[in-house]
Amino acid sequence: MTTFVILSKLSLHRPGEIKSLAEIDKELNRRLDSEYPEVKRTASYVLLGEFDFLHIFESPDATITAKISLLLHSLGMGSTQTLTAIPFSEFHNVTEE
């Protein structure tokens, strides 16, 4: 499994249509469980800054993670940025080679 970080920002185009944060989170959990059971969300944070949320996922590959990013868009996120996260211990091994 690979660790991915998805930064997301709520859409400001139609704020009246945005669900409450609790509803968005419940819907995200429901959809992850039913559509992507192989994916594990390990953490989520509300951010102060350019992005509104940070989600950390363990996913089999980038294609499935891209689908999760699209899922976040369907739940009202206006933009996302997806990053691959490499544990420092693994990166340290790379630098030793």
Percent of the chain at pLDDT exceeding 90 = 64
**pLDDT for 39:** 97
pLDDT digits (tens, 9 = 90+) for 57-85: 999 999 999 999 999 999 888 899 999 99
Q: How many structural domains does the chain have?
A: 1
What residue has token string 């704020």?
A: 15
Name the average pLDDT for the chain. 89
- Which residue range forms the structural domain that includes residue 45? 2-96
Of 70, 67, 74, whose CA–CA distance to 24 is shortest? 74
Neighbours of 62 (CB within 10 A): 13
Dist CA 56 CA 3 (whole Å): 7
Distance between the two ends of the chain, CA-based, in angstroms?
22
Instruction: Outline where DSSP puts E strands in the chain.
Output: 2-10, 40-46, 53-59, 77-85
User: pLDDT band at residue 21, thresholds of 50, 70 and 90?
Assistant: confident
> Looking at residue 75, which CATH number applies to its domain?
3.30.70.920
